[in-house]
Structure 1
Amino acid sequence: MRRRFRRILFGGSVLAGLAVAAGLGALVLTLPPSNHTLHLHGLHAPVTVLFDDKGVPHIRAANLPDADTALGYIHARDRMVQMELMRRLGSGRISEIAGPAGLPTDRMMRALGLRHLAEDSYRTLPPGMRAQLDAYASGVNAAIGDRGRFIAPEFLPFGPPAPWSGVDTLLWGRLMGVSLSGNWRPELDRLDASGRFDRARLLSLFAPHDRTKAPDQTALADTAHRLDALLPRFPAPFTLPDEESDEWAVDGRHSATGAPLLAGDPHLAFGFPALWYLARIDVPGLQLAGATAPGVPFIVIGQNGHIAWTFTSNSADTQDLFVETVLPDGRYATPDGPSAFAIRHEIIHVRGAPDVAFDVRISRHGPVISDALPGRGKGPVLALAAENLRPQDASPGLAALDTAQSVADAGTDAALIASPVQNLLVADRDTIGQFTTGHVPIRRSGDGAFPADGASGASDWTGEASGDALPHIVSPASGQILNANERTAPPDFPVYMGRDWPALWRADRIRALLSTAPRHDLAEFGRMQSDIKSTFAAATVPVLLARVPRADGIAGKARALLPGWTGDMHADAPQPLIFNAWIQRFVIDVETSAHIGSVSDSWEDMATLFLSPAGAAWCAGNCTPALARALDESTVALAGRFGDDPARWRWGAAHHVVFENALLRSIPLVKHLARADAPIGGDDTTLLRAGGALGDFDAVHGAAYRGLYNLADPDRSRFIVTPGQSGNWLSPDAWNLMRSWLDGSSMELRRQPDHVAARLLLLP
């Protein structure tokens, strides 16, 4: 019996060892080969892809369709899981893998109907655009067919992903439209807050232009509160921050090269893998380089040998909530009489739980987003009118930018990007210009600050403005253009652009740095992108010190370090930690005591308000006691973490940039393999954007891509992404760019890489 037991034990150990070895072997097989040749159906000529030592592909193709096919193959090879998650998110299918936790997101995506919009858009695209999307999809599907379940570790247990289609690509643009045109959310927040405050007091927080009578607030506030609770808010998984990005350019008179220089770094959510993927694409007449988005066959931000371009978000109000009046027979009231809702039946499959079925009603204004609520009952009906939910698609405009020859061409292309509304900054060898993409609604009345009555038609949209009717500037006399999400048109601009604009902290810093020298170079622009001075802190600290002139104990020691500090957010200094902990605790305390809730995504704006005379009403007439208490509370908490000597505290000890995988973050053990963090300077108000949620010092959004463009010699332009090119957490290219990015370094993407680490040959 003992011998038998030993044999069983030995045999079991051997089998377990073999199973582990097989598992490790399968994981290794998910890494792509370093030299590979593949025949692809639909190619017109051979395509050569050289991967440099950073994992960046350099594609050489005879034409753009072949380059699109190659890019599709490469995206799937390195980022298929990311593409699959994007497809599931836009289709409302996260619950199939995440279980009930994915239901809030899925219910809202189904209510918005993004998948249906993408399908309709694909059918109506010009034939050439469809052909481009199909060429890209054929490359993705070739990679799926070539690699199967070994295309990424996450597919090993479940088998290969479903085939890709042009509709899947269009979902990316629809998702960006939702994320970057989110001003219906502030309407919802205001509506939620209206249940706690009378309208006059609530208006003091927002000072909207429209003071017309709104629909009854009581029942609406409850619906808004439930919707707010249902919807995930950044930095929850699969969400993006509401405002982001810096951009600036100077013309040849102000550059060391004699030709324009341009800088751009979109500030979006950090994650693993990053949203962006670097690529260099050479076809006759074009030398494309910059940031691609896995799932999309374009250089989204970058250069093509003739122009360079980048984007920042424009806070134009392109979304309105309407309160529809439902009649006893189920129809709803309109100015022309009763009308029937269109109905769309949705079924969500949920891993480990029963399916969820519900109907989405669509009114003349748009989808009824309150139908996303479980058990909607007979409460108020909120419909969403949104430019990003209209039939027009952004893809033709993005594709056109890749082949534009001049700033003038780019201005024409900007009007083809239906949504979102963005500030497109462009430079060619002679000119700089900024254009507004997208469509902005024209309202019969009102400013869209609060939900409007849908039955009367008083606030209906009567048209839309785009192209030259929106803010634009070409060759300004100053020789420079900049934007950091601030307002691009005066309040009396002929087209009403909106009311919720970020403060000028980052824009003022860019303007100040551009004024320090008559001529600029790319190295200086690179240092600007890594600048850690906070104009917000520099302006706010004197106010804090004047309001709280002294303090005792640990608070007094911490306060004594702030006089003379100029707002530099160094990772190895104590002042940024003391300041951020103090001011954020102050905002949290005031918002909590006043029961304000999430009425603004900018805690800096709320801090400025509460420190002003107008904000005193939210602290029973005087916010100074709350400010003093916040200093005590925050410094005691810091002492508990970092010791009793504030001079030894360090911002970088608390402020880490975090890259983690939205899917794997909840899986024990594996989550650590797909996560990295590091100390970082800067904060949410600096050009080195490293921001997070109020009260949490982790940096979870910022510039995961930076571009520096030299229009005199495009091959000398510079690029960086973080944390790396590959989405496979076993790959050496998964994290290899993180250190360079942290150091503020970047790299050139020339036609011929200095070091070739891998080769891919695609043959017809």
Structure 2
Amino acid sequence: MGISRTTRWIGRGAVALVAVVLLAGAAAALYVLRSFPALDGRMQTPGLTQPVQVRRDGADVTHIEAATPFDAWFAMGYVHAQERTWQLEFNRRLMHGELSELFGPAALDTDRLMRTLDIAGAARRQYAGLPPFAREALQAYSRGIASFHQHRAQALPPEFLLLGARPGGAQGTPWSPEDSVGWALMMALDLGGNWGTEFARLSLVRTLPTDRLWQLMPPYPGEAPATSVDLQALYRELGVYRTPAGPVAAAHGQGAQPPLPVPWAHDLAAQAGDPGGRGSNNWVVAGRRTASGKPLLANDPHLGLGAPALWYFARLKAPAGVAGDGSAVAGMDVVGATLPGLPFVVLGRTARAAWGFTNTAPDVQDLYLEQIDPADPKRYRTPDGWATFAEREETIRVKGQPDVRHRVRATRHGPVLSDAQPALHGGVIDLDRHVLALRWSALDDDNQTVLAGLLANQARSVAELFTAFAHYHSPMQSVVAADVHGAIGFKAMGRVPVRGAGNDLRGVAPAPGWDARYDWQGWLPLADTPQDDGAAHGWLATANQRITPPGYPHFITADWSLPYRQNRIAGRLEATPRHDMASLRALQQDTVSLAALQLLPHLVAAPTDHALAAQARALLQGWDGDMRADRAAPLIFAAWADELARGLVAPRIGAERFAALYGRRDFRAGIEGMLQRGDGWWCQPLTCPQQAGAAFNRALDRLAALHGSDPARWRWGAAHPALSVHRPFGNVPALARWFDVRVPSPGDAYTVNVGQYNPAEKHDPFASRHAPSLRAVYDLGDPEQSLFIYQTGQSGLVFSPRYRDMAGAWSQGGMRPLQLQPARYAHRLVLTP
């Protein structure tokens, strides 16, 4: 009886457990379904003035058609909230410096940086300076986001539930009009920063003679360094450096430069310098060089990969309207890539014109050494004597800990970065004598970049596009454009500071802030920024290389990207007499690394007696530098180049300083020069060939340990996946497999089809984290044949099949139609007042 009774209880318990599991499963399934957005039917949406059609086509592009421009912008906000609610919340917290409230002390450095830069304050000032219709556009967009949350039938995505967050945080405001301006500033920070490069030079010349600095970080090919100043002597004379290095230096590295504050916070890599491939490609081909007789245009901006993606593709259509002040607002019919957080198409086409961006990367950030008054630490030195720091205190809420009080100081140049960035405390600068302040053009009150974006969506020709982009401020972009009438053009759009003739540092390294000759002297007139009509070659292309022609009289920057991508693009454009959509798509997929071919002879000739060397050399024999995912040679080369950099550079600058710098830059140009010269100083105590051989041996050992002892089975794509990381769950191994998007990928930092990796990463050092964030090809002979793709999917909801449904096609070169008039719509939704 006891056994029978026990059996019955076990049976009942099992039934109860099954019931609980089934109920939990049903509840989870119901939650998943409720988290999906409504894509069909009708929804009441308070805030609209008239109904809006929201239709998704077969390519999953969202088409918004409204009776007024303001209703269209409202609906864009509503749709972004439907699809990218968590992304908007994370980005809002990021730029306001409120991440620590959710993530605790790990996010404090990021929050301190955002509060010090005062992104939110700059956005408020810039918003106030916009014309009325632009302010109303941003207001309409933020009302659309608010309306979604106020009347939300859709369950919040799991990020909110797992983190205990709510949209809008403590203030309950999920998005404001000023936040849209702030997000444009964050893009400028991502693309327009070079303060890390300046600080790296300051740090390196602490122990590295200035001439050796320029060997490690050479000027643009064929040019002399932008400054002839002996930087090491200058900074020693000024007494800049802290000695001896204290315990903070050991923690952060004596040569540390501004860190990426949190790996999942944002791609703030711009502040840390350019490792060689960061940027984008665009090119436009005139009708005389195309099969159709009309222009073709291609664009693939290279940005940090994330899941969800940075972009959301949409069409906005509305007739002309009237703003609240009575001013006329032009109509629009535009399709392309929007940024969640902004109401307009950033990159795309109208019915008659198309455009593409690459980052010009002018030097719009200067670091200034501000000397502290020995008698009063609240004052700093200026050309006119001592002045008082502007100060304010910020309160940062930290999860699980007391609030943190953060003092923010500013000088006449701008915010004091050394109050926010731990690396600047890290034993490099004597902060009792000097601090570092930042002058950054994007923070200026007259920044009207969002106005340029709104106006571009109304353009019908190249001329109208360039008129719209005349309002573009930061970050400066190299714009190519084409229209159905046959016009093409290139113009660098944005602000570039003018540095006086006496400024012998030219912004390449921190300048004495009390010396007036280092102050900016105004702005380069728009008429004087680089431009071209394409008449000479019948095509125009930019790939972050030097865009100024010979004899150009104005200084823009000394830190252009190496011209490998540009040279490859130019060679292939010239090699084909008549281009079509297929040839432009093929060029976007090109994975031949001219940079690899530059170093390859040193690898092939490297002396080695490694057991795997013969097999590895056989795989390298006749290799054409094509970084294909299905080959072993690219992996062998990449591992060797990594080991070579470690062997040549780390002993000369110190392991800690190398660890702080490497990965954000690969020192490729410097290493090329060392091997070409057979430079004994850098290669000591071995010869340069011996260093190449030792690096080869280390690389083969490493690859065998990771991928097995048969080199023929090694594959670049297996070691080099394109990794789109979720913020924040890409940092949580148990969740990353669900939230991250990973696909095999080709390329390296120097191929047209970029696959830039950070070899300093402990995990997945060859994973591509910076790649074509989208690809688009526009046919101005038949604009409806235009195509696009990006690396994840339209939905930002992890349970949705649309979260990653573009990834495979993106990695394999597939594309989707980008049409104003699609043949069918997969979903139809009507938003009603």
- 2:589 corresponds to: 530
- 1:384 corresponds to: 438
- 1:747 corresponds to: 816
Deviations 1:139-195, CA, capped at 9 Å, x for gaps: 111211232671422224434443321111111111111111111110011112122
Deviation at 1:89, TM superposition (A): 1.2
- 1:688 corresponds to: 753
Deviation at 1:729, TM superposition (A): 0.6
Deviation at 1:360, TM superposition (A): 0.9
1:278 and 2:283 correspond: no
Report SS of the residue matched to 1:266. Answer: strand
- 1:62 corresponds to: 67
Counterpart-to-counterpart distance in 2, 1:288 and 1:323? 46
What is the one-letter code of the residue matched to 2:810? W
- 2:273 corresponds to: none
- 1:608 corresponds to: 672
Task: Point out the more displaced range, 486-495 or 415-424.
Answer: 486-495
1:158 and 2:165 correspond: yes
Q: CA contact under 8 A between 1:322 and 1:454: conserved in structure 2?
A: yes
Q: CA contact under 8 A between 1:715 and 1:749: conserved in structure 2?
A: yes
Counterpart-to-counterpart distance in 2, 1:625 and 1:678? 37
Q: How does 1:393-404 map to 2 (within 5 A)?
A: 393=447, 394-404=449-459
Report the aligned-residue RMSD. 2.5
Point out where structure 2 has 5 or more consecutive residues left out of the alignment.
Answer: 220-224, 271-277, 320-330, 426-430
Counterpart-to-counterpart distance in 2, 1:489 and 1:233? 34
What is the one-letter code of the residue matched to 1:275? L
Counterpart-to-counterpart distance in 2, 1:736 and 1:427? 30
Q: 1:505 aligns with which of 550, 558, 564?
A: 564
Counterpart-to-counterpart distance in 2, 1:477 and 1:620? 48
Q: How does 1:304-323 map to 2 (within 5 A)?
A: 304-323=350-369
Deviation at 1:8, TM superposition (A): 7.8
Counterpart-to-counterpart distance in 2, 1:335 and 1:414? 37
Q: How does 1:544-693 map to 2 (within 5 A)?
A: 544-546=603-605, 548=606, 551-594=609-652, 595=654, 597=658, 598=661, 601-613=665-677, 615-620=679-684, 622-693=687-758
Counterpart-to-counterpart distance in 2, 1:181 and 1:12? 57
Q: How does 1:219-234 map to 2 (within 5 A)?
A: 219-220=240-241, 228=256, 231-232=259-260
Deviation at 1:27, TM superposition (A): 2.9
Structure 2 CA distance for partners of 1:491 and 1:39, relative to 1, 3 Å: same
Q: 1:360 aligns with which of 383, 404, 408?
A: 408
Deviation at 1:273, TM superposition (A): 0.5
- 2:228 corresponds to: 211
Deviations 1:613-660, CA, capped at 9 Å, x for gaps: 175432238422211101011012112222323223222222211122
Deviation at 1:10, TM superposition (A): 6.5
- 1:107 corresponds to: 112
Deviation at 1:363, TM superposition (A): 0.5
1:303 and 2:342 correspond: no
Q: 2:775 aligns with which of 682, 706, 709?
A: 706
Q: CA contact under 8 A between 1:414 and 1:467: conserved in structure 2?
A: no
1:735 and 2:804 correspond: yes
Structure 2 CA distance for partners of 1:163 and 1:36, relative to 1, 3 Å: farther
Counterpart-to-counterpart distance in 2, 1:551 and 1:507? 38
Task: Point out the more displaced range, 63-72 or 603-612.
Answer: 603-612
Task: Point out the more displaced range, 67-76 or 202-211.
Answer: 202-211
Q: CA contact under 8 A between 1:412 and 1:467: conserved in structure 2?
A: no
Deviations 1:232-256, CA, capped at 9 Å, x for gaps: 1796641255421101111111111
Q: CA contact under 8 A between 1:423 and 1:436: conserved in structure 2?
A: yes
- 1:81 corresponds to: 86
Counterpart-to-counterpart distance in 1, 2:622 and 2:13? 74
What is the one-letter code of the residue matched to 1:81? W
What is the one-letter code of the residue matched to 1:396? L
Structure 2 CA distance for partners of 1:552 and 1:203, relative to 1, 3 Å: closer
Q: How does 1:486-505 map to 2 (within 5 A)?
A: 486-490=545-549, 492-505=551-564
Deviation at 1:201, TM superposition (A): 2.8
Deviations 1:534-578, CA, capped at 9 Å, x for gaps: 1122232124324x2664421232123223111112222111111
Q: How does 1:5-24 map to 2 (within 5 A)?
A: 14=19, 18-24=23-29
- 1:720 corresponds to: 789
Deviation at 1:84, TM superposition (A): 1.2
Q: CA contact under 8 A between 1:486 and 1:504: conserved in structure 2?
A: yes
Q: CA contact under 8 A between 2:109 and 2:261: conserved in structure 1?
A: no
Deviation at 1:752, TM superposition (A): 4.1
Deviations 1:356-396, CA, capped at 9 Å, x for gaps: 11211111001001111469763521000111121122111
Structure 2 CA distance for partners of 1:76 and 1:272, relative to 1, 3 Å: same
1:145 and 2:150 correspond: yes
What is the one-letter code of the residue matched to 1:627? A
Report SS of the residue matched to 1:559. Answer: helix
Deviations 1:263-308, CA, capped at 9 Å, x for gaps: 0000111111111111122334643111111111110001112221
Deviation at 1:130, TM superposition (A): 0.2
Point out where structure 1 has 5 or more consecutive residues left out of the alignment.
Answer: none
Deviation at 1:686, TM superposition (A): 1.2
Deviation at 1:5, TM superposition (A): 9.3
Task: Point out the more displaced range, 55-64 or 567-576.
Answer: 55-64
What is the one-letter code of the residue matched to 1:708? V
Q: 1:170 aligns with which of 181, 184, 189?
A: 181
Q: 2:303 aligns with which of 268, 271, 275?
A: 268
- 1:133 corresponds to: 138
Q: 1:469 aligns with which of 509, 517, 528?
A: 528
Deviation at 1:410, TM superposition (A): 2.4
What is the one-letter code of the residue matched to 1:306? R
Report SS of the residue matched to 2:516. Answer: coil
Q: CA contact under 8 A between 2:590 and 2:753: conserved in structure 1?
A: yes
Deviations 1:582-641, CA, capped at 9 Å, x for gaps: 112111222222226227624432432332317543223842221110101101211222
Counterpart-to-counterpart distance in 1, 2:562 and 2:356? 21
Counterpart-to-counterpart distance in 2, 1:280 and 1:741? 21
Percentage of matched positions with identical amino acids: 36
Structure 2 length-normalised TM: 0.87
Q: CA contact under 8 A between 1:58 and 1:753: conserved in structure 2?
A: no
- 1:411 corresponds to: 466
Q: CA contact under 8 A between 1:509 and 1:535: conserved in structure 2?
A: yes
- 2:483 corresponds to: 428
Report SS of the residue matched to 1:612. Answer: helix
Q: CA contact under 8 A between 1:234 and 1:241: conserved in structure 2?
A: no
Counterpart-to-counterpart distance in 2, 1:111 and 1:54? 42
Report SS of the residue matched to 1:462. Answer: strand
Report SS of the residue matched to 2:382. Answer: coil
Counterpart-to-counterpart distance in 1, 2:607 and 2:167? 64
Q: CA contact under 8 A between 1:137 and 1:165: conserved in structure 2?
A: yes
Counterpart-to-counterpart distance in 1, 2:415 and 2:39? 48
What is the one-letter code of the residue matched to 2:752? L
Counterpart-to-counterpart distance in 2, 1:226 and 1:197? 13
Q: 1:30 aligns with which of 32, 35, 50?
A: 35
What is the one-letter code of the residue matched to 1:464? W
Task: Point out the more displaced range, 376-385 or 703-712.
Answer: 376-385
Deviation at 1:762, TM superposition (A): 1.3
Q: CA contact under 8 A between 2:299 and 2:357: conserved in structure 1?
A: yes
What is the one-letter code of the residue matched to 2:439? A
Deviations 1:665-695, CA, capped at 9 Å, x for gaps: 2335332211232222222221111111025
Structure 2 CA distance for partners of 1:616 and 1:103, relative to 1, 3 Å: farther
Deviation at 1:428, TM superposition (A): 1.6
Deviation at 1:219, TM superposition (A): 4.1
Alignment length, in residue pairs?
763
Structure 1 length-normalised TM: 0.94
Deviation at 1:475, TM superposition (A): 3.6
